[in-house]
């Protein structure tokens, strides 16, 4: 995962699928990154490199949304693939997550 902190927005670019085989290590890295940027005023999850999201990956993204809500900052998902957008749509999360299509 790559993090970019620009203009007080923390953009997290995930570099692979968010599935049960990757979520544990991604979560540990994510916790450290969030600790390093307590002054972020917006949180963005860039899913341009993510092809699949399973239930554990979805749980991770919901956790990110909750963290942003706790911090009282906006959260959005960018560059989601059609299959990931479809999943979020089935769960009525597109609007809540501010999901945008892949570029």
Per-residue pLDDT of 12-45, as tens digits, reads: 999 999 999 999 999 999 999 999 999 999 999 9
Q: What pLDDT is attached to residue 78?
A: 95
Whats the size of the chain, residue-wise? 103
Ordered by start, the domain boundaries in the chain are 2-97
User: What's domain 2-97's architecture?
Assistant: 2-Layer Sandwich (3.30)
Backbone φ and ψ for 74, nearest 5 degrees, come out as: -70, 150
Residue 40: how many other CB atoms lie within 10 Å: 19
pLDDT(87) > 60: yes
**Model confidence over 51-66: pLDDT tens digits?**
999 999 999 999 999 9
Alpha helices in the chain (DSSP H): 23-36, 55-71, 82-90, 94-97
Q: Is the pTM of this model over 0.85?
A: yes
């Amino acid at each position: 995962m790559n993090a970019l902190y620009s203009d007080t927005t923390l953009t997290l670019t995930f570099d692979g699928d968010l599935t049960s085989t990757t979520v544990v290590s991604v979560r540990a890295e994510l916790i450290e990154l969030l600790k390093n940027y307590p002054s972020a005023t917006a949180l963005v999850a860039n899913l341009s490199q993510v092809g699949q999201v399973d239930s554990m990956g979805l749980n991770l993204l919901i956790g990110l949304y909750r963290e942003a809500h706790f911090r009282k900052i906006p959260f959005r998902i960018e560059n989601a693939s059609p299959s990931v957008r479809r999943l979020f749509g089935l769960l009525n999360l597109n609007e809540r997550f501010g999901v945008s299509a892949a570029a």
